Structure formats: structure tokens, C-alpha cells
Amino acid sequence: MTQNIPHYETRNAICEYGRSLLEDDLTTGTGGNLSARLDEDHIAISPSGVPYEEIAPPDVPVVRTDGTVVEGEIDPSTELPMHLEVYEQRPDVGGVVHTHSPYATTFASLGEAIPASHYLLAFTGTEVPVAEYETHATQDLGDAAVEALGDSYNATLLRNHGVLTADDSLEDAYTVALMVEYCARIHHQARAIGDPEILPDEEIDRLRGKLDSYGQ
């Protein structure tokens, strides 16, 4: 069975991480989406509008970088333009995760970057910046997300929408999504009590290399 499904392992990983989005409270319903680079010309991305519990590897579309679907019978996520723009502008990226995680999305709705009040924010950069608001499922949203990510960040808040993370692999991008939500929650709680101390950029830059082996 698996031998007859092109890119089975990656498409199966998208299924598994999709279910994890719900288990880890990073989204609700069919919200959010995930993708992984397959080669220079193709990505795999979660399908549109299908409950994560029901997605099987053959359902995960394989898409050319020009947007043409080459595998899968279900339409790709409506956020395909945003994913493709990230891969186009960031050749270092191998996986992209888009969530609606509640604490981080709260800051997205405030239009407020998440600063480094916890050292684990080093997974993303010196902060989680905020992209300008654009309508969901548009090329404009992809352009805004890529502009906010630049070359320095692995995550951005999508204003009044959610979170986008991008890293070397789907697994790494998912870890970044978890860390963004954790740091957003800590920062929210700390602000409710007092004035959080923010780590200097130099310390975050130093920590980024040390966190490469986190969890290994």
C-alpha cells in the first residue's frame, strides 16, 4: 500500500501533525494547515476543509510550486498561496505550519509582537513579529507573512488571524509552533501580574545555537 503512494512518509507526517494540532490545542475544527517541501519543485500540503481525524496519506495533495496539483483528489488548503510564497522566498525552509493557537492569536489580534520574556522564544528569533493584516487565502497574505519573516525569523503572527511558523523540516516547524504558543501564554500571564523582563537580543542570538539539540 505505502509503496503505491508517492511521498507516503511525508504525506503521512502531515496527517499525524494535523491531528496533533487539535491534541495540542493549536487550532480548532479544520482550522490551520501544514506543508512540507518534497523537492525543489513540489510540496505536500494538508487538504482543504477535511477534519484532521479523517485525513489519510492519499488525501494529502502534492502540489507543484506553480500551484498545480499532481497527486491527491482533494483540493489543497486554501492557504496554499501563503505556503508557496514562503518556500519561494525562503529556500532554507522545509516545513510550514499555520495555526490559530489561542494565546499567540490573542497577540495577533492586538497587533503586538511577542517579545523574549522566556528564553524558548529563541526558537523563533528575538521576537515573534506581526505581519500586516491581509485577507486569508490570498497572495497578499503570503506576501505579508514573508515580509514579516524576513531572513531572521522562524515565526510570525498573522494580524487578526493566527500564527505562521517555518523551519528546516515539518517537525521543526511544528516544534516552533508549540514554542510560540507556550511563550505567548507565559508572556500573557506575566503581564497579568506585572512587567515581564525581556531578554536582550544578544542573549537570544547566543541561545539559538544551543537550542538546535533541544529535545534530543
Helix (H) or strand (E) holding 98: strand 95-99
Structure confidence at residue 216 (pLDDT): 45
Within 10 angstroms of residue 85's Cβ, the number of other Cβ atoms is 21
> If DSSP codes are grouped into helix, strand and coil, which group holds residue 196?
coil
64 sits in which H/E element:
strand 62-64
pLDDT value of residue 53: 97
79 an active-site residue? yes
Q: Is 182 within 8 Å of 101 (Cβ atoms)?
A: no
Alpha helices in 111-156 (DSSP H): 139-149
Specify the amino acid at residue 111.
G
Q: What pLDDT does 4 receive? A: 81
Q: Residue 200: its pLDDT value, please?
A: 97
Under a CB-based contact definition with an 8 Å cutoff, are residues 126 and 206 in contact?
A: no
Per-residue pLDDT of the chain (216 residues; tens, 9 = 90+): 555 889 999 999 999 999 999 999 999 999 999 999 999 999 999 999 999 999 999 999 999 999 999 999 999 999 999 999 999 999 999 999 999 999 999 999 999 999 999 999 999 999 999 999 999 999 999 999 999 999 999 999 999 999 999 999 999 999 999 999 999 999 999 999 999 999 999 999 999 888 875 554
Grid cell 501533525 in the structure block, residue: 17
Domains and CATH numbers, the chain: 2-213 (3.40.225.10)
Cβ atoms 92, 70 nearer than 8 A: no
**Are residues 59 and 47 in contact, defined by beta-carbon separation less than 8 angstroms?**
yes
146's grid cell? 514573508
DSSP string for residues in 25-44: TS--TT--EEEEEEETTEEE
Q: What is the pLDDT of residue 152?
A: 93
* Residue 211 confidence (pLDDT): 81
- Which pLDDT belongs to residue 3? 56
DSSP 8-state code for residue 75: P
Eight-class DSSP state of 158: E
Query: pTM to 2 decimals?
Result: 0.95
Closest alpha carbon to 34 in 142, 127, 170: 170
* Mutual angle of helices 139-149 and 80-89, in 10-degree steps: 40
Catalytic residue of the set 16, 79, 147, 181: 79
Q: What kind and span of H or E run contains 71?
A: strand 69-71
